[in-house]
Amino acid sequence: MPDRDVKDLAQYRLTKAKEMLNASLRDDQQGDYASANNRAYYCIFHSMRALLALHGEDYKKHSAVIARFSLLYLKTDILPREYGALITNASLIRNRSDYEDFFICSVEDTKRLIEGAKHFLHDVEQYLQETE
């Protein structure tokens, strides 16, 4: 069982993930799809960091967070492996939305990303509750 400080850090990161999801939903409703994509990605990202906190781990590079999370939680089937595709897609959309001129993500893809982020956050939150 993780110690209290580790659990507090995980919960703090989960709170950040929830804030990002709420921002994504708000931005989607306002038609700001690039921002909605960005916030949905960060919901997923902070959710991954919440679980890595249980191992006393964090990384500066997003790719390292994704790789370590995948190794610890997806390849071991703690969380569904299908989340690997969600994480990859979210990262790609976020990078393209943030850095590529004239990149436009479809409204449907944005809505799918937000729904995926909701499910991912739910499963991470449920896992954290089970580890208490």
Which among 32, 48, 127, 55 has a CA at the least distance from the CA of 88? 48
Residue with tokens 């993780």: 2
pTM for the model: 0.95
What are 28-42's pLDDT values in tens digits? 999 999 999 999 999
Query: Using only C-alpha atoms, what is the Rg of the chain?
Result: 14
The domain containing residue 26 runs over which residues? 4-130
What are 80-111's pLDDT values in tens digits? 999 999 999 999 999 998 898 899 899 999 99
CATH of the domain at 37: 1.20.120.330
What are 23-78's pLDDT values in tens digits? 999 999 999 999 999 999 999 999 999 999 999 999 999 999 999 999 999 999 99
Amino acid letter at 84?
G
User: CA-CA distance, 55 to 9, in Å (whole number)?
Assistant: 11
Quote the number of domains for the chain.
1
